[in-house]
């Protein structure tokens, strides 16, 4: 099995790229979804995160409100590092388990937005970076309900797109239609399988 890491800037189209890969029969795992699941009440990371950041990050049901938590950690890089130290080891373990469960497939993809920032780019057969024009990123972040300040913080918390692109084996540039993105996905997958 070829293990592929899919990364890229925030709001560049990683999830849509992953969806198109799934449509091509490739299993896709989203590290952010794993992290969110691990932070649910009763799950391994929940107690540690609540103990560290307090009950003010909880919603009415006692679940971690990611928007509230985001406001805390994106205001303070030190707090963001603490959160990452609590969450990333459990996510890495969950990714490894997922990959082992999909070993029979010729290719498996894991979407890891902070691949380089977390220092986990080693061990993949290929890395794909999804990029998009900055204006498109900004529009998508506003559509997600972020304020301008929050969008600026999230963009600043990641490596610049150009660095992610230069470090990747493959780049998919999401600047046009869904159909154009889908064609790029098919082409990159075909080349990875054939290599």
Domain with CATH 3.40.50.300 in the chain: 1-27+108-185
The answer to whether 83 touches 69, Cβ cutoff 8 Å, is yes
Share of the chain above pLDDT 70, in %: 100
Residues 90-103 have pLDDT tens digits of: 999 999 999 999 99
Residues 111-144 have pLDDT tens digits of: 999 999 999 999 999 999 999 999 999 999 999 8
In the CATH scheme, what is the homologous superfamily, with its name and number, of domain 1-27+108-185?
Answer: P-loop containing nucleotide triphosphate hydrolases (3.40.50.300)
Q: How is residue 64 annotated by DSSP?
A: B
User: Is it the case that residue 182 has pLDDT exceeding 90?
Assistant: yes
Secondary structure, 3-state, 6-41 = EEECCCCCHHHHHHHHHHCCCCEEEHHHHHHHHCCC
């Amino acid at each position: 099995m070829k293990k592929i890491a899919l990364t890229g800037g925030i709001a560049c189209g990683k999830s849509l790229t992953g969806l198109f890969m799934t449509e091509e029969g490739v299993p896709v795992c989203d590290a952010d979804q794993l992290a969110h699941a691990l932070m649910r009440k009763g799950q391994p990371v929940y107690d540690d995160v609540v103990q560290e950041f307090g009950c003010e990050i909880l919603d009415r049901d006692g679940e971690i409100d990611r928007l509230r938590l985001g406001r805390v950690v994106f205001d303070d890089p030190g707090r963001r590092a603490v959160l990452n130290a609590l969450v990333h080891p459990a996510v890495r373990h969950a990714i490894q388990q997922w990959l082992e469960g999909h070993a029979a497939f010729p290719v498996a993809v894991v979407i890891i937005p902070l691949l380089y920032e977390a220092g986990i780019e080693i061990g993949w057969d290929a890395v794909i970076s999804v990029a998009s024009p900055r204006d498109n990123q900004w529009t998508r972040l506003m559509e997600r309900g972020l304020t301008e300040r929050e969008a600026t913080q999230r963009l600043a918390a990641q490596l610049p797109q150009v660095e992610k692109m230069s470090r990747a084996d493959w780049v998919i540039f999401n600047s046009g239609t869904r159909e154009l993105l889908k064609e790029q996905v098919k082409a990159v997958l075909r080349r990875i399988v054939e290599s």
